[in-house]
A and B are shown apart, each in its own frame.
Chain A
């Protein structure tokens, strides 16, 4: 504590000691506050120094940025020409070039409509929420599929790339949370049949790897369908991903429900609230708030798990990257592909993580 010098400087005692502010103060406080901390700082600096410059050299300084074919790449650094050439396929898959505006329009609407949710003084958040949850999916469905208002039909096997990843992850996220909540409530219900069904469902889905589920959905499931009945492959994958994720979500939500004291239920019942009102207005808001990190964690896992749909022949973002790197013209550029893919996934997942922290902070200030 000797570095604080509080007693030697009686005049400045109502301000933080100089040594504790500014860059030096910050360094001292955060990086060199103790022996272990100092050692950790030095080791971490060493690791960063030995890894970062070579990566930087490869990815930026020595990289080739312009050109149209692999001949433009010197081979000294990363060949981003590869990514550039394939870029729009990585984004849209095989979605027809002339129809891509429909996808762009839908995501544009989504972004514009979401902005008000981040404006604190905006009053009609609930209305926007309803649009985003109900109106938007319908709108997006018609835009993506087409076959209406003169827009040609684009069948789902043509969907792909980041667009497909976002469709699967988006549907999975939006559907698995409510489903997970219902499952969690059923699991805590006093009705044995309901409880049993919920437990069976959750344990079944949690016990099987997603790959198996997807595989069964695409290969086995059609065997049980009558001849001629066709069930969209994407739809099957969507259902599989959603149910799988809902089982995990259910357990996260159940954890939150368990943290709510019995008195909250009793108080809600005794003022006459029905079961669903009690859950909607008293229990769930508190329970979900407790488990925001867990929920977002599940969302992130779901987002990354969507890459598994490549197994059943859907060309999501990663699937498209694999197509690209096995293109005979571009063999040998897997590192560039995976670095780029990793970066894109990281941006989305990091975004979700930050949003979760923002929500936690928002709720904390609200009730304290």
Chain B
């Protein structure tokens, strides 16, 4: 398909800004360990991509490169038309558009839930305090825990903390949400409440890149599945084909291991 070719071809960023995220031959090394190799990826607006792969394959590193928590050393990354360079202005601009949710939540433990949400709107968007509070409450309602607003993270369950973390990102109205194994630190009974929130986001058309091994979730929301191994993108396909007839051996092996459980 021509569309498919287009996705993988190394071409300059297109002017109509069709793509939300473009990565052209991206490489990254940790000292002399080659973590990311030949990463070429284009993500459409509103597209949901679920990334899976064995531990250490570079999934986290890949998505963390998109908001400059890690720096790539070769190739180009363009987010919503802005290229990630050493220019701090670009980095700031991109970080405003990209939200990220971590495996370990990373809430600010010295602030209450609602204060966690208000911090960035007040200091980055220069929003008046009252307005920021309203906004924060709106998003806490959205993740269905408005009643926990004045509790500290240490007083919340894992699932509640992760939902606060998602709400904290949403407060900055990001165009892209990155998720790095958002449910793997959670007890089984809390996984669903977090996934429900994520499905809700997907339904609203958020562009999402999600590293997860929740294959049920992947089947429901993913537009494309991506399998990584050894720092490379091994296979990208629509969920149907990806799960039923994966082309690559390593994908097959991985899927057989994951789906067994």
Question: Which residues on A are within 8 Å of B, measured CB to CB?
Answer: 261, 263-264, 266-274, 277, 281-282, 285-286, 289, 366-368
Taking the complex as formed, is B95 at the interface, i.e. its CB lies under 8 A from any CB of chain A? yes
Q: Given A368-B154, A368-B155, are A272 and B106 neighbors across the interface (CB < 8 Å)?
A: no
A363 to chain B, nearest CB (A): 8
**Chain B residues whose CB sits within 8 angstroms of the CB of A289 once the complex forms:** 110
B106 touches A266 (CB 8 A): yes
**Chain B residues whose CB sits within 8 angstroms of the CB of A282 once the complex forms:** 108, 119
Q: Given A263-B106, A281-B119, A366-B110, are A270 and B152 neighbors across the interface (CB < 8 Å)?
A: no
A269 to chain B, nearest CB (A): 7
B69 touches A273 (CB 8 A): no
- How many A-B pairs have beta carbons closer than 8 Å: the answer is 67
Q: Give the docked Cα–Cα distance between A367 and B127 (Å).
A: 25
Residue ID in chain B nearest A275 by CB atoms: B88
Residue ID in chain B nearest A280 by CB atoms: B123
Stretch from B78-86, B96-104, B202-210, B239-247 at the A interface? B96-104
Q: Pull 9 A–B residue pairs with CB atoms less than 8 Å apart, ordered by A.
A: A261-B106, A263-B104, A266-B102, A267-B107, A269-B69, A271-B99, A272-B124, A273-B119, A289-B110
> Within the complex, which residue of A263, A267, A272, A368 is in contact with B96, where a contact is CB–CB below 8 Å?
A272
Q: Give the docked Cα–Cα distance between A270 and B107 (Å).
A: 12
A274 to chain B, nearest CB (A): 8
**Chain A residues whose CB sits within 8 angstroms of the CB of B107 once the complex forms:** 267
Question: Which residues on B are within 8 Å of A, measured CB to CB?
Answer: 67-69, 92, 95-96, 98-100, 102, 104, 106-110, 119-120, 123-124, 152, 154-155, 165, 168-169, 171-172
Q: Give the docked Cα–Cα distance between A366 and B95 (Å).
A: 30
Q: Given contacts A272-B124, A277-B123, list 9 more A-B pairs with CB under 8 A.
A: A263-B102, A266-B100, A270-B69, A271-B169, A277-B124, A281-B123, A282-B108, A366-B152, A368-B152
A270 touches B67 (CB 8 A): yes
Q: Give the docked Cα–Cα distance between A271 and B69 (Å).
A: 11
Q: Give the docked Cα–Cα distance between A368 and B156 (Å).
A: 10
Q: Give the docked Cα–Cα distance between A366 and B120 (Å).
A: 21
Question: Chain B CB within 10 Å — which of A286, A289, A367 has the most?
Answer: A367
B172 touches A266 (CB 8 A): no
A270 touches B109 (CB 8 A): no
Q: Give the docked Cα–Cα distance between A263 and B185 (Å).
A: 14
Q: Give the docked Cα–Cα distance between A164 and B67 (Å).
A: 54
**Chain A residues whose CB sits within 8 angstroms of the CB of B171 once the complex forms:** 271
Q: Give the docked Cα–Cα distance between A361 and B123 (Å).
A: 29
Q: Give the docked Cα–Cα distance between A277 and B108 (Å).
A: 14
**Chain A residues whose CB sits within 8 angstroms of the CB of B99 once the complex forms:** 270-271
A271 touches B92 (CB 8 A): no
Residue ID in chain A nearest B109 by CB atoms: A367
Q: Give the docked Cα–Cα distance between A289 and B155 (Å).
A: 19
A156 to chain B, nearest CB (A): 42
A286 touches B110 (CB 8 A): yes
**Chain A residues whose CB sits within 8 angstroms of the CB of B120 once the complex forms:** 271-273
B124 touches A267 (CB 8 A): no
A127 to chain B, nearest CB (A): 16
Q: Give the docked Cα–Cα distance between A270 and B106 (Å).
A: 11
Residue ID in chain B nearest A283 by CB atoms: B108
A367 touches B110 (CB 8 A): yes
Q: Give the docked Cα–Cα distance between A216 and B98 (Å).
A: 55
B119 touches A264 (CB 8 A): no
> Within the complex, which residue of B102, B124, B152 is in contact with A273, where a contact is CB–CB below 8 Å?
B124
Residue ID in chain A nearest B169 by CB atoms: A271
A276 to chain B, nearest CB (A): 10
Q: Which 9 pairs show the lowest CB-CB distances between chains A and B? A: A267-B106, A263-B106, A271-B120, A272-B124, A270-B100, A272-B95, A277-B123, A272-B96, A367-B152
**Chain B residues whose CB sits within 8 angstroms of the CB of A273 once the complex forms:** 119-120, 123-124
**Chain A residues whose CB sits within 8 angstroms of the CB of B154 once the complex forms:** 367-368
Residue ID in chain B nearest A286 by CB atoms: B110
B172 touches A272 (CB 8 A): yes
**Chain B residues whose CB sits within 8 angstroms of the CB of A368 once the complex forms:** 152, 154-155
Q: Give the docked Cα–Cα distance between A266 and B106 (Å).
A: 8
**Chain B residues whose CB sits within 8 angstroms of the CB of A274 once the complex forms:** 92
Q: Give the docked Cα–Cα distance between A130 and B233 (Å).
A: 55
